[in-house]
Structure 1
Amino acid sequence: MGYISTRISHLTMNTSWMREKFQQFRDSITYLTSLIITIYVVLGIAAVSLEVNSLPDFLHFIKFDQPGTARSLLTTLMAGMISLLVFSFSTVMSVLTQAGSNFSNKLVFVIMTDKRHQQVLGHYLGTILYLLILLLVPAIGNTPDTWRSLAVYLGAVMVINSLAMFVLFIHGASQSVQIHAITQRLLVSTQQSLDKLRKRQENDAYAYRVDHPIDPDIAHVIYSRDSGYIQSANFDALAELARRHDLTIHLGFSFGDFVVKRFPIMSVESETPPGDVLVDRILGCLEYVEGESTEDHYVNGLTQLMEVAIKGLSPGINDPGTARLCIHQVTELLAQRLALTPCNMRVDEQGRCLICWQEEGFESLMFRVFNPILHYGEKDLSICLSLLKAFKTLSNFAMAEDHRVIQAHTDRIIALMAQCFTTPLEVSFIEDRLTRGMHRLRIAPHLPVGAPSN
């Protein structure tokens, strides 16, 4: 029995490891590129290995009559494709490097893993390999037959296709590093993550509870066996394990956290300690990713927008317009977050807790997102007023507790403006905008006198 349990444990670990590696491969830049290259390689092998003699007569005019013509054409096409590949990606990498220095290095990897760019890279490399196969396998006889001549002309068509994709690639790469495109991409992916939370909230199998204490007498700690960012978990599989073995699983981390090996990441409430097989199955339900995924965890989208904003406020960049744009996007996302009460528990039909986890509160989100922007932009009046406008907007969507948090941030920024901007012209400009707009905040029409230092 022990031998069988050990074999099942090893099999479960290997399956989990293979699933994780395949997921990493699918998320990498090589997945779609490899599929496209495979198609080109198959075409090249078919062109040099098949003998087709029953082609229509009207195709005979494409047959090469002079020896060496086809090989010279293939050599020229190969050299052109290599030059095109080098020029394209050297240009793009210089553009991406500039974008990384201006905005955030995290965005460079996202841009390079864009499916459109993977497709272009796959067609480039696939065309080169196709031409290389035709060059490595010489044609039978002094001149190639109609089938082989047709394969050479197909290579020319592939090169023309690559030239067209070169134009689209340069255009797409230049557009993708525009700040509006970057922030819009972050906004859309973060909204997708919030939509997942909204659908989960509508499901009766999920619930929210302020606290879920752990019974120390029957709690058993489970340690991580891998290191990385845990962005999400397979709640359905975890709930099935908890229901079948009469468990309550307490996840001791927040999604998006980085965990190291042998770290206590969860506790399991059960009358008997879970065996190795069950522990492997529970750990196999956790989903690790490289870096920060905005589609899986909305907090990553908010923090990345914040990082782009403070990068724009740095002395080397000095672009407050970028920071204001990020503040607008963050305001939109937080307004959607205020309409949600993120679930932190999976329950069964009787309401018994099967899984519980930690969800970041709105107060923590406000501090994490707005405090760094205020720290770097406190001397810029346009940034302070943009933050004040963001708080006014959010106050229209907030309930009592969240409204208190927004009011505290509003009081802080008003006190900061009273301290930093003291000339009559600045004071008049600020006071004209203090109470303007629709909001539910308590704001005096005049700046406070003698505001304390922050």
Structure 2
Amino acid sequence: MVLENSGGGFGIFAKRPAGYRHGAARINQRSCSLFMNTSRVLEFINGFRNSIAYLTSLIIAVYVIVGVAAVTLDVKKLPGVLDVLDFDQPDTARTLLATLMAGMISLLVFSFSTVMSVLTQAGSNFSNKLVFGIMTEKRHQQVLGHYLGTILYLLILLLVPAVGDTPDTWRSLAVYLGSAMVINSLAMFVFFIHGTSQSVQINAITQNLLVSTQLSLDRLRKRQASDEYIHQTGEIDLRDGYPVHSRNSGYIQSVNFDALASLARRHDIAIHIGFSFGDFVVKNFPILTVEADSAPGDALIEAILACLQYVEGESTRDHYVNGLTQLMEVAIKALSPGINDPGTARLCIHQMTELMAQRLTLTPCNRRVDDNGRCLISWHEEGIESLMFRIFDPILHYGGEDLSICLSLLKALKTLSNFATAADQRVIQAHADRVIALMAEHFTAPLEIDFIEARLAGGIHRLHLASRLSSRSTST
């Protein structure tokens, strides 16, 4: 018996009896429901793994298991040489444990109050979006897990009293192990403070943004190398199809392309994404269009929506544009009158130049097709013209009266011109003309003009730049 793919996958060939049609519809509906439930479970697991609680919980669980083993196991056969470690006084072990636990709580409070103070200062100087990313780093999760795990281990030893007047050798070893855990926490405290202080330096922040954005660009590059992904010019008319409305609000950074393609093949449909990745989507907004012979059922719609990946805030690893815009925001924050740090802005421009040079060498795919070339999924990829305007125009707006910023932007555009196609070249040329026109407007002193003209046409580039600022100003 062969199911028909047309009509959203809920019909059969016309020659089949009606009972078979309803049976096929129920099978497809059950498969969609199973797929939707599986996607939700995987989405929850993936979200938990990416949260600050994942690694912390695993480390705490190890400490709790060791603590439970220390108070429940009754180990009698231990080497006699360990008897010298026994506690002679009944209250010595409990006093030591209580002291260690109080010290750990104080260390925990002091460590993270210091860290939050440093991160708050970094957020006010650079960007508040960076604070959450710093706190979710794995090394910070590891320190938090060891701190809390040590406290819980000591608490377990305090809650379960030792049998007899004095602790036996096994229980004494457990107390000494708690002391070793505290010493380990003290060592981690030193490295934690050092690592945190290093992570809020602007060089480390911009480097982390650069690396995470490069990972996103690498995924685009791998996707481009696959035959299943292609790039086609022209927009698809989203009115030709059945709209699908969002169930939740939030930022959609990406979708599960493999799962969506599987649904499109199974039901002989095409799914057209009407939003740009990274956009904030409100509830009950038409975000997708399903191109099919008949309206998709509720189970299929839920399965499609389960493939959308919502995240809190902006993820640079999922969407490279977020990395570029965050570098831009750090730059304009540094150019604010309260901070006035053009050096940080220039550093961000350098990192943006590196990322844009890699982006210019790519042609991001906007279609996924099957073996026969039929479109399964389509989506929108932001073009170079829009991207250049989004990341360079705000910096020019806030730093247009700073000569070092204008020259840094001009140098960045010169560098990017060596990687651009003919179409992108015109966009870069327009931005370079605007920077030069702005310099001609703001910097009119003879000394400034001589300084600018000495650097106008210098360097390796493919732009058409005048050698004199005065003639450039007249022409514009």
Q: TM-score, normalised by structure 1?
A: 0.96
Q: Which residue of 2 aligns with 1:91?
A: 114
Shift of 1:17: 3.6
TM superposition shift of 1:285: 1.2
Verify: 1:151 aligned to 2:141, yes or no. Answer: no
| Map of 1:307 onto structure 2 | 329
Could you tell me whether the CA contact under 8 Å between 1:127 and 1:158 is conserved in 2? yes
What do residues 404-450 of structure 1 show as CA deviations (whole Å, max 9, x unaligned)?
00000000010000000000000000000001100000000001459
The amino acid across from 1:74 in the alignment is: L
* Alignment-derived partner of residue 406 in structure 1: 428
Aligned AA (1:272): S
- Contact kept, 8 Å, 1:388 with 1:413, in 2: the verdict is yes
Partner of 1:362: 384
1:103 to 119, 126, 139: 126
Residue matched to 2:469: 447
The letter for the 2-side match of 1:437 is G
Paired residues in the alignment total: 453
Which stretch shows the higher mean deviation, 224-233 or 411-420?
Answer: 224-233
**What residue in structure 2 maps to residue 185 of structure 1?**
208
Tell me the distance in 2 between the aligned counterparts of 1:413 and 1:143.
Answer: 80
Residue 455 of structure 2 aligns to a residue whose secondary structure is: helix
CA–CA distance in 2 between the matches of 1:280 and 1:445? Answer: 61
* Residues 249, 267 of structure 1: 8 Å contact kept: yes
- Deviation string 1:310-331 (CA, Å, 9 cap, x unpaired) is 0000001100000000000000
Alignment of 1:48-127 (within 5 A): 48-127=71-150
Tell me which amino acid in the other structure corresponds to 1:303.
T
Give the deviation of 1:147 after TM superposition: 0.6
Q: Trace 1:12-411 onto structure 2 (pairs within 5 A).
A: 13-214=36-237, 216=239, 219-411=241-433
One-letter amino acid matched to 1:276 = D
Question: Would the alpha carbon gap of residues 215 and 424 (structure 1) be closer, same or farther in structure 2, given more than 3 Å must change?
Answer: closer
Q: Please give the secondary structure, in 2, of the residue aligned with 1:92.
A: helix
Indicate the residue corresponding to 2:11 in structure 1: none
- The alpha-carbon deviation at position 372 of structure 1 amounts to 0.4
Equivalent residue letter for 1:213: I
Tell me, which stretches of 5 or more residues in structure 1 are unaligned?
A: none
Secondary structure of the 2:294 match is coil
- Amino acid in the other structure paired with 2:388: M
Please state how far the C-alpha of 1:10 moved relative to its aligned partner: 6.0
Q: Secondary structure at the match of 2:290?
A: strand
Counterpart amino acid of residue 413 in structure 1: V
Shift of the 229–413 alpha-carbon distance from structure 1 to 2, 3 Å rule, reads: same
User: In structure 1, what is the Cα distance between the partners aligned to 2:415 and 2:207?
Assistant: 20
Q: Secondary structure at the match of 1:422?
A: coil
- Shift in Å, 1:397: 0.6
Q: Residues 30-75 of structure 1: CA distance to partner in whole angstroms, max 9, x if unpaired? A: 1111111111111111111111111122222111111111111111
SS of the residue corresponding to residue 231 of structure 1 reads strand
Classify 1:301/1:446 alpha carbon distance in 2 versus 1 (closer, same or farther; 3 Å).
Answer: same
Structure 2: 5+ residue runs without aligned partners?
1-21
Cα distance change on mapping 1:215 and 1:413 into 2, 3 Å: closer
- Deviation for aligned residue 1:4: 8.2
| 8 Å Cα contact 2:436-2:472 kept in structure 1 | no
Cα distance in 2 for residues equivalent to 1:120 and 1:128? 12
Mapped partners of 1:333, 1:393: distance in 2: 12
TM-superposed deviation, 1:13:
4.9
Once the two structures are superposed, residues 347-391 of structure 1 have per-residue CA deviations (whole angstroms, 9 ceiling, x without a partner) of 111111111000000000100000000011011000000000000
Deviation of 1:216 after TM superposition, in Å, equals: 4.7
| Contact 2:238 2:272 (8 Å CA) reproduced | no
Amino acid at match of 1:278: L
Tell me the SS of whatever aligns to 1:266.
Answer: strand
SS at match of 2:434: helix
Matched-pair contact (CA < 8 Å) for 1:20–1:288: no
The TM-score, its normalising length taken from structure 2, stands at: 0.92
Shift of 1:18: 3.5
In the TM superposition, what is the alpha-carbon distance from 1:210 to its structure 2 partner?
A: 0.7
CA–CA separation in structure 2 for the residues paired with 1:5 and 1:345:
25
Cα shift at 1:213: 2.7
SS of the residue 2:454 aligns to: helix
Output the CA distance in 2 between the equivalents of 1:453 and 1:23: 57
Between 8-17 and 163-172, the greater mean CA deviation after superposition: 8-17
- Per mean C-alpha deviation after superposition, the further-off stretch among 1-10 and 309-318 is 1-10
2: distance between equivalents of 1:203 and 1:379?
Answer: 46
Q: Matches of 1:155 and 1:88 in 2, distance apart?
A: 20
Indicate conservation of the 8 Å contact 1:12/1:280, yes or no: no
Q: Distance in 2 between matches of 1:292 and 1:248?
A: 28
After superposition, the C-alpha distances for 1:175-212 in whole angstroms (9 at most, x for unaligned) are 00000000000000000000000000010110000124
8 Å contact 2:85–2:172 — kept in the other structure? yes
1:220 CA drift (Å): 0.7
How far apart, in 2, do the equivalents of 1:21 and 1:421 lie? 56
Which of 452, 459, 466 aligns to 1:437? It is 459
SS at match of 2:274: strand
Question: Identity across aligned pairs (percent)?
Answer: 72
| TM-superposition CA deviations, 1:233-271 (whole Å, max 9, x none) | 111111111112111110001111111111101101111
> Which residue in the other structure is 2:3 paired with?
none
Distance 1:126 1:313 in 2: 43
Query: Which amino acid in 2 is paired with 1:206?
Result: Y
User: What is the CA distance between 1:453 and its match in structure 2?
Assistant: 13
